[in-house]
Homo-oligomer: A and B are copies of this chain.
């Protein structure tokens, strides 16, 4: 059976990142040279290590060959410690020799101007033509501690312990920062990669490889910009059910480009990235510290997919317990009440007057502490248990206190503590040996539950039935879209609009008014007027013919290429106004946004985005993520909103974008919603 180029690429990536043999090209005995540092860093390498140098026979004790072609075997990895301008030739030789991949130390490529970009393009071409893989250029490299493979040159990286967390970072500096933070937590890494310019090997490639890597139990992902978002999304949808992925997205203060619709303004590019990652089942965090902590938790434990998890807290000290409960509540994690049965049983184990709700405040832990943890863990409302106690080895052995509950129920029990100096190290190590996560400080303990819950909920949402992606219909829309035509298109997608009539002149308008139910709204219908209200082209609450005449007079004064053309429409019932729109993102493809309507919501950018196709649970998550979500539930004198009707409109907007690739933007603003239905009061369609 023939091996396809794609298969070769996959195999070669594994060879590059898990090499059994390495050649350092440009090896040197001069310790100031990169070729020397590369060899030194690889002193712990467990496989075959050889050197390439035109003249030397041996460097630092390793056999040296005059060229890549002369290597006695096709090594898995060639590290190119040679100037940029020689790298293209070396890569071509490596491909010919059957080498798996190359890693380039020197800079001077895409990041450094036109000449460098040319070199980088040539390297990428060699890779795509031959199946050779290239990491970087412009990266600090990678570390695979199990293989003793240290292709990175910052001091200490050779001492990163092997473990089960993979780091995949767009930036080399962040890759190392995360690896160091993970080491500080007492955890180890399976692989740490900085992708740099990503001329060949991308985030997607590494994620796909890690999905099958048995040493990797969780993936810590760092992203700056995302070039092919849709591919990343599709990959993550496949990877996250197998391996938890925690992501940190740079660019928090990103400024949005101007867009025709409000929809465009509502979506920051980072918001799209974060939303897509969550939709694909990843957990998104805000700091490197959270990223390393979250990955360390999820590498040990996941909760099964569930729409919402109940978390219990047992604390030996009330004050820190309150802070933990604060963190959980602010993050929307539920702390359900314990059952009466649980409370009664715990009551027999604690002194009277002790606070037995959730949190359970035991006071300073006593001998019954392990039983209390077991009782709480057995409560059916509880999916995960947090235990906090200041370090008092003579009073509480955390392993003995927690392990029975884990053994009994299989539920995750996470310990949080604080103490002096290194006093806690033994207990922390003992916990980790039993695969029990342990966190330092109240809010970090809360973070453990927040992350377990977020992962479980994301996986639940990902598993919900999703309509198949829409397929382009073949029919191609063209020409200008005014409101009337836009609404007609939306109606074919099942979106309700008010009864209306498009009138070319005053006579038609009067006739239409007699047919429609009063009151009506009269709107200018001219393809050259984008912002009808701002132009004074919308008259509300027209109840009789005299009002109608006045309205038509007023609109007639607006200069336009289509004078006298108006849309007369029955006024909709009161309701809550939303914006539901979609844009075709260059990286992420069709994206749907839902926001609260009106100028205030726009000023707040209170909106949620998801990639199409949407499931109903996606829309539920979007509505639940709006800061002003209270408005949907019958706030003050507003009606309760029909969430199903909103979901249908949003799903339809996604399908419209998928079936008509010629549409750049579509927007319903407002979608007016009450208890019974949702109706599009205005619509905008923009073709690409």
Candidates B289, B322, B606, B636; contact of A599 at CB < 8 Å: B636
Chain B nearest CB, measured from A648 CB (Å): 24
- Bound Cα distance A598, B601 (Å): 11
Report whether A631 and B423 are in contact in the complex, using a CB–CB cutoff of 8 Å: no
Chain B nearest CB, measured from A153 CB (Å): 9
Chain B nearest CB, measured from A361 CB (Å): 10
Interface size of A in residues (CB-CB distance below 8 Å): 80
Report whether A635 and B250 are in contact in the complex, using a CB–CB cutoff of 8 Å: no
A155-B419, A419-B156, A421-B156 as given contacts; A289 in contact with B636, CB under 8 Å: no
> In this assembly, does A530 line the interface, its C-beta being within 8 Å of a C-beta of chain B?
no
> In this assembly, does A478 line the interface, its C-beta being within 8 Å of a C-beta of chain B?
no
> In this assembly, does A392 line the interface, its C-beta being within 8 Å of a C-beta of chain B?
yes
Give A631-675 as 1s and 0s: 1 = Cβ < 8 Å from B's Cβ atoms. 100011110000000000000000000000000000000000000
- Bound Cα distance A169, B320 (Å): 11
> In this assembly, does A180 line the interface, its C-beta being within 8 Å of a C-beta of chain B?
yes
> In this assembly, does A174 line the interface, its C-beta being within 8 Å of a C-beta of chain B?
yes
Give A108-152 as 1s and 0s: 1 = Cβ < 8 Å from B's Cβ atoms. 000111000000000000000000000000000000000000000
Within 8 A of B (CB), among A488-523: none
Chain B nearest CB, measured from A122 CB (Å): 20
Candidates B326, B393, B442; contact of A253 at CB < 8 Å: B326
> In this assembly, does A279 line the interface, its C-beta being within 8 Å of a C-beta of chain B?
no
A180-B420, A390-B173, A418-B180 as given contacts; A600 in contact with B251, CB under 8 Å: no
- Bound Cα distance A329, B268 (Å): 15
- Bound Cα distance A112, B39 (Å): 68
- Bound Cα distance A666, B600 (Å): 25
Q: Which residues from chain B contact A440 at a C-beta distance below 8 Å?
A: 184
Within 8 A of B (CB), among A598-623: 598-604, 606
Report whether A177 and B329 are in contact in the complex, using a CB–CB cutoff of 8 Å: no
Chain B nearest CB, measured from A615 CB (Å): 26
Report whether B600 and A318 are in contact in the complex, using a CB–CB cutoff of 8 Å: no
Report whether A288 and B173 are in contact in the complex, using a CB–CB cutoff of 8 Å: no
> In this assembly, does A72 line the interface, its C-beta being within 8 Å of a C-beta of chain B?
no
> In this assembly, does A160 line the interface, its C-beta being within 8 Å of a C-beta of chain B?
yes
Chain B nearest CB, measured from A145 CB (Å): 12
- Bound Cα distance A420, B176 (Å): 10
- Bound Cα distance A475, B113 (Å): 77
Report whether B599 and A155 are in contact in the complex, using a CB–CB cutoff of 8 Å: no
Within 8 A of B (CB), among A308-365: 316-323, 325-327, 329-330, 353
> In this assembly, does A33 line the interface, its C-beta being within 8 Å of a C-beta of chain B?
no
Q: Which residues from chain B contact A441 at a C-beta distance below 8 Å?
A: 177, 181, 287-289
A156-B391, A604-B604 as given contacts; A322 in contact with B418, CB under 8 Å: no
A112-B353, A329-B252, A353-B112 as given contacts; A157 in contact with B420, CB under 8 Å: yes
Candidates B171, B443, B598, B602; contact of A318 at CB < 8 Å: B171
Q: Which residues from chain B contact A113 at a C-beta distance below 8 Å?
A: 353
Chain B nearest CB, measured from A598 CB (Å): 6
Report whether A173 and B320 are in contact in the complex, using a CB–CB cutoff of 8 Å: yes
Report whether A391 and B155 are in contact in the complex, using a CB–CB cutoff of 8 Å: yes
- Bound Cα distance A322, B419 (Å): 34
Q: Which residues from chain B contact A222 at a C-beta distance below 8 Å?
A: 319
Report whether A183 and B420 are in contact in the complex, using a CB–CB cutoff of 8 Å: yes
Within 8 A of B (CB), among A389-419: 390-394, 418-419
Within 8 A of B (CB), among A403-461: 418-421, 423, 440-444
- Bound Cα distance A440, B288 (Å): 11
Report whether A638 and B599 are in contact in the complex, using a CB–CB cutoff of 8 Å: yes
Q: Which residues from chain B contact A353 at a C-beta distance below 8 Å?
A: 111-113
> In this assembly, does A159 line the interface, its C-beta being within 8 Å of a C-beta of chain B?
yes
> In this assembly, does A370 line the interface, its C-beta being within 8 Å of a C-beta of chain B?
no
> In this assembly, does A170 line the interface, its C-beta being within 8 Å of a C-beta of chain B?
yes
Q: Identify the interface centre among A112, A599, A601: most chain B CB within 10 Å of its CB.
A: A599
Q: Identify the interface centre among A174, A392, A596: most chain B CB within 10 Å of its CB.
A: A174
Q: Which 5 A-B pairs have the closest CB atoms?
A: A171-B319, A173-B317, A156-B420, A253-B329, A174-B319
Further 16 A-B residue pairs, CB within 8 A, beyond A173-B316, A177-B319: A156-B419, A156-B421, A159-B420, A160-B420, A169-B319, A172-B319, A174-B319, A176-B390, A183-B421, A253-B325, A287-B327, A287-B441, A288-B443, A602-B636, A603-B630, A604-B604
